[in-house]
Amino acid sequence: MGVDMLGIAFVVVALGGLGNLLGAIAAGLIIGVAQAVVALYWTEASVAVIFAVMAAILLVRPQGLFGIR
């Protein structure tokens, strides 16, 4: 269980922009909602969707949601 939380925390920090509290909060909400919605329909994919969302967002904004260029 601890390793799962560590992976999710890494994704949240990477998406929010390193060192940005508001970015981490926004990324946490995005990841949490995405995981909950997917878990309703396809329980096995709820962990995989975290990394899919991370890949999609980092392709568009490599510095994170609120990262500075």
Range of the domain at 39: 2-60
Give the residue carrying structure tokens 């560590």.
6
User: CA nearest 50: which of 63, 22, 31, 28?
Assistant: 31
Kindly report, residue by residue over 20-51, the tens digit of the pLDDT.
889 899 999 999 999 999 999 998 888 888 88
- Read off the tokens for 43: 């329980």
| pLDDT for res 1 | 62
Could you tell me the pTM of the whole model? 0.81
Reply yes or no on whether the pLDDT at 64 is more than 70.
yes
Q: Is residue 12 part of a domain?
A: yes
Q: Is residue 67 part of a domain?
A: no
Q: Is residue 66 part of a domain?
A: no
| pLDDT for res 40 | 92
Mean predicted confidence (pLDDT) in 6-11: 88
Distance of CA 43 to the CA centre of its chain: 17
Q: Is residue 17 part of a domain?
A: yes
| pLDDT for res 5 | 84
Contacts of 26 (CB under 8 A, 6+ apart): 16, 65, 66
Reply yes or no on whether the pLDDT at 65 is more than 90.
no
Q: How many domains does the chain have?
A: 1
Q: Is residue 69 part of a domain?
A: no
